[in-house]
């Protein structure tokens, strides 16, 4: 009778161990998914900032080109006039 009780207790403890291990692994998987999602959102933010900076640089470049062409026109007017 005691052997049967010990066997049942062992089976129960093994079942509880497997159940807890399964929960632990599922939790670890979800944590890893959250980390990946966080990294993806950071990458998206970085891509957005890069795109905004490129647009700003293009705007500055076009303004510089405009000012340079305006300066060349002014120089030509000074030389002709």
19-37 tens-digit pLDDT: 999 999 999 999 999 999 9
Please give the pLDDT value at position 70: 83
Q: Which of 11-15, 61-65, 73-77 has the highest mean pLDDT?
A: 11-15
pTM for the whole structure:
0.52
Residue 69 has pLDDT above 90, yes or no: no
- Our CA angle for 75, 56, 50, nearest 5°, is 145
Q: What is the CA radius of gyration of the chain?
A: 35
Q: Go through 21-51 and write b for each residue having 16 or more CB atoms within 10 A of its CB, e for each that does not.
A: eeeeeeeeeeeeeeeeeeeeeeeeeeeeeee
Q: How confident is the model at residue 76 (pLDDT cuts 50, 70, 90)?
A: low
Average pLDDT of the residues of the chain: 90
């Amino acid at each position: 009778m005691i052997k049967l009780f010990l066997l049942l207790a062992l089976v129960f403890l093994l079942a509880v161990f497997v159940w807890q291990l399964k929960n632990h692994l599922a939790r670890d998987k979800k944590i890893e998914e959250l980390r990946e999602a966080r990294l993806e959102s950071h990458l998206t933010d970085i891509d957005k900032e890069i795109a905004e900076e490129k647009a700003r640089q293009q705007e500055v470049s076009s303004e510089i080109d405009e000012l340079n062409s305006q300066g060349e026109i002014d120089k030509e007017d000074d030389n002709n006039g």
